[in-house]
Chain A
Amino acid sequence: QKEVEQDPGPLSVPEGAIVSLNCTYSNSAFQYFMWYRQYSRKGPELLMYTYSSGNKEDGRFTAQVDKSSKYISLFIRDSQPSDSATYLCACAGGYQKVTFGIGTKLQVIP
């Protein structure tokens, strides 16, 4: 079993839809949770960073962490074609050792 599980997709949605991206993890020691966006042939770009459980909102993006169920989510409101990319969840337990999910490929159709 991988430490961080993520459905690779692809996920196709119409422009303006609410997108829900999810990951599950197995390591109880994870305390830090991140979402990265990666465009094709580019390095990942940090979108959201959360410590422990709870919600965090930044513009159209909302990150949720539920440590009791080991479940993390990223919601994108009013999705745009420019949001089309691969979204990677990442978890860390400290000492900057980060474990990444495989990434979900999202396509927002105009």
Chain B
Amino acid sequence: GAVVSQHPSRVICKSGTSVKIECRSLDFQATTMFWYRQFPKQSLMLMATSNEGSKATYEQGVEKDKFLINHASLTLSTLTVTSAHPEDSSFYICSAGRQGTETQYFGPGTRLLVL
């Protein structure tokens, strides 16, 4: 159990366009989902925490108007990168938390390249 899927796995877009990434917990209900960004040779950096049915909590330095997060159900969270720029190119990974534990289960990640 504890499978998390992420779609798309890779996306290339032009500067100024918006990109939506989906994160789904396939076999459990995730009251909390997390969005991370990982640059080459760096650790995971938490961008925001989203709870089902409420607004996401963003980490310091992360623009909430640029990175729109929606957690509409217990199995789906989406991250939309609005007006993407080349510096937004990165590896975006979501994770889902199981209620009652501190364990997070990660999706396979989405590699975003903004030209």
Contact = CB atoms under 8 A, between A and B. Distances in A.
Nearest to B111: A41
A43 B106 contact: yes
Interface in A17-59: 31-32, 34, 36, 41-46, 49
B106 to A, nearest CB: 4
Given A43-B106, A43-B107, A44-B106, A100 B41 contact: no
Interface of B: 2, 4, 6, 32, 34, 41-44, 46, 49, 91, 93, 95, 97, 101-109, 111
Interface residues of A, number: 22
B102 A92 contact: yes
Contacts, number: 54
Contacts of B101: 49
A102 B43 contact: yes
B32 A96 contact: yes
Nearest to A36: B106
Contacts of B103: 32, 34, 46, 49
B108 A43 contact: yes
Most buried by B among A94, A98, A102, A103: A98
Contacts of B46: 97-98
